Amino acid sequence: MGQPRGADIVVETLERLGVRRIFTLSGNHIMPIFDALLGTNIAVVHVRQEAACVHMADAWGRLTGEVGVALVTGGQGQTNGAAALFTALAAESPVLLLSGHAGLSEIGRGAFQELAQADIARPMTKASWTAASVETLADDVARAMRLAREGRPGPVHLSLPVDLLEAPASAVPSPPPDATPRIEEPGANLVEAVAVELGRARRPLILCGPVACGTEGRARMPALEAASGVPVLGMESPRGLNDPSLGAFAEVLAQADCLVLVGKPLDFTLKFGEAPAVAPDCRFVIVDPDPALAARVDPARLSVSGTADALPTLAALARYFDTRRPGDRTDWHAAVRAAVAYRPPDWDDRRGAEGRLHPVELCRGVAAFLDQHPGGTLICDGGEIGQWPQALVQASRRLINGVSGTIGASLPFALAARLHDPAVPIVAILGDGTFGFHMAEFDTAVRYGLPFIAVVGNDARWNAEYQIQLRNYGPERARHCDLLSSRYDRVVTALGGHGALVTRAEDLPQALEEAHASGLPACLNVLIESVPAPVIRRPKAG
């Protein structure tokens, strides 16, 4: 190889910083990087639409804790990809979006696909900028990788002008620039202050944000609960206190007298801490990597606040409580866990009309399948249908669209999940509206040999919006949300995958097994009743 180019510096820096895979869609501005990737150990997954590669990077970041890297071209390639950044930002997922960019020498002269790309991405990222020189490319990449993981994880965007990628460059520094994130450990005084507040409370709750809902956090939350006796819950759903996976959580939230928010913003998911969702005399404890979030709490209700990362805070509190508990909260703990576990008993009797399944029947079938094939990953997507599996299906790992509430990510998520774990079942439950966003990624799945099962709940409408129309305007004004009852299974078959139509609950188990046995990307097109998402409330005594 002759003298390195800027593109070689970018790729070599990524490789030396541990990047193993890039999700990408080609385009003029990034062809130097495609060329530079040849001969490296970085695998390339080439997709069909730019937002899909950002969603894949998002899922990769959530599943591994590594920075998921997406690469798109400039102009509309960048804007397509940037649209998916909002999902990653709300999910606190470490993502690096690299986008090609018009050459610096042509900016302001009407360059091809010239856009203010850094400005476009900035509201949906932790940081967004355009590289300014060949000499700083390695530093730019390392800084972006560090920022994506540091503090509250999230997406970072770096635009790469094509003339910098093509320009001759010096070799990457050895060692390369440091991309190690700074870890903010909670101080001993902060841990003690939190423990004191928990000791004062009779009905405390520890609530954690999306970063604690990943693999590491899912281990640390129950460890803290076991050590402290205080219920510890993760919140990653746009439904907030009505998250169906949390059962009748809203009921016990309203009774809490102390909320410890560990990396959990006080926002719409907690009704901003206002009554009646939260008791007016409930005290708050805030431990967050962003000290500004404490300002969201009424100072009269804020007992303790401190700056620290969520995962180290969970570990530090668990260590503290290993030798001392904040009082006996057995009855409260039992009441919270009973509320979270509650599901209406009449769900067992839900049946769809002739030729259709109720979402409960669909979810029971998937739950039984995952019980037979342990270790699988469940992906939930869609407005209404996506909520049912969160309430009813258990899996070793779960990916949902997250606090943003934006639908459409499930098919890209499934491909990334399959790449992460080649052996276990990957099942995505999504709606028919959602399926339309990225159905072409079945082509990607077939090309790369990435089998998974998409279970499409097909009610031939945008049901979340239809339910809003019914509630707010009445059935006579429920219009324009209908879809065709399309044969999505045949779309997948045409792309080289496996497809089947399911219209009876008793046929679903066999359809799932056949899809799994096919070894192909699969779509089960399941006709379902058009019903609202579950809102779980326990009947009041008496």
DSSP 270-319: GGGG-TTTS-TT-EEEEEES-GGGGGGS-GGGEEEEEE--HHHHHHHHHH
Tell me which residue of 499, 502, 427 sits closest to 458, measured CA to CA: 502
% of the chain exceeding 70 in pLDDT? 99
Residue 31 contacts residue 77 (beta carbons within 8 Å): no
Question: Tokens 């804007």 — which residue?
Answer: 79
Residue 343: its pLDDT value, please?
Answer: 96
Name residue 531's amino acid.
V
Predicted confidence band at 360 (pLDDT cuts at 50, 70, 90)? very high
Q: How confident is the model at residue 108 (pLDDT cuts 50, 70, 90)?
A: confident
Give all strands (DSSP E) within 352-497, no chain letters. Answer: 377-380, 397-400, 426-431, 453-458
Q: Give the residue from 446, 530, 443, 516 showing the smallest Cα distance to 482.
A: 530
Question: Which pLDDT score, from 0 to 100, does residue 114 have?
Answer: 81
Domains of the chain: 6-166 (3.40.50.970), 188-341 (3.40.50.1220), 345-527 (3.40.50.970)
Tokens of residue 287, six digits: 């431990």
Q: How many angstroms from the chain centroid is the CA of residue 320?
A: 30
Q: Is 354 exposed, middle or buried (0-12, 13-18, 19+ CB in 10 A)?
A: exposed
Query: Is the model's pLDDT at 501 over the cut of 60?
Result: yes
User: Residue 175 pLDDT > 90, yes or no?
Assistant: no
Contact present, 405 and 387 (Cβ < 8 Å): no
Give the pLDDT of residue 115.
Answer: 84
DSSP for 17-69 reads: TT--EEEE---GGGHHHHHHHTTSS-EEEE-SSHHHHHHHHHHHHHHHSSPEE
Supply the pTM of this predicted model.
Answer: 0.95
Each residue of 77-98: pLDDT tens digit?
999 999 999 999 999 999 999 9
Average pLDDT, the chain: 95
- Which of 46-60, 257-271, 321-335 shows the lowest mean pLDDT across its residues? 321-335
Q: Look up residue 377 and give its amino acid.
A: T
493 pLDDT higher than 70: yes
Q: Are 78 and 117 in contact (CB under 8 A)?
A: yes
pLDDT score at 177: 87
Chain segment 191-246, per-residue pLDDT in tens: 999 999 999 999 999 999 999 998 899 999 999 999 999 999 999 999 999 999 99
- Give dist(CA 336, CA 342) in Å, integer: 10
The amino acid occupying position 344 is P
Question: Rounded distance, CA 133 to CA 45, Å?
Answer: 28
**Polymer length of the chain:** 542
C-alpha pair distances (Å), 516 with each of 164, 483, 499: 47, 28, 11
Task: Tell me the C-alpha distance between 30 and 35, whole Å.
Answer: 9
| pLDDT band for position 1 (cuts 50, 70, 90) | low
Percent share of the chain, pLDDT over 90: 89
Q: How far apart are the C-alpha atoms of 400 and 380, rounded to whole Å?
A: 5
Q: Which of 159, 146, 164, 176 is nearest to 117 (CA)?
A: 159
Beta-bridge partners for 45: 23
**What's the average model confidence in pLDDT over 113-129?**
94
Q: What is the pLDDT of residues 375-406, one digit of tens each?
A: 999 999 988 999 999 999 999 899 999 999 99
List pLDDT tens digits, range 440-482: 999 999 999 999 999 999 999 999 999 999 999 999 999 999 9
Q: Are 389 and 370 in contact (CB under 8 A)?
A: no
Instruction: Please give the helix or strand (H or E) that residue 367 lies within, else none.
Output: helix 359-372
Cβ neighbourhood burial of 499 (10 Å; 0-12, 13-18, 19+): buried
State the distance between the two ends of the chain, measured CA to CA, in whole angstroms.
81
Identify the three-state secondary structure at position 354.
coil
Quote the pLDDT of residue 39.
87
Res. 106: pLDDT tops 60? yes
Are 328 and 492 in contact by the 8 Å Cβ rule? The answer is no
Compute how many other C-beta atoms are within 10 angstroms of the C-beta atom of residue 284. Answer: 21
Least confident of 180-189, 317-326, 500-509: 317-326
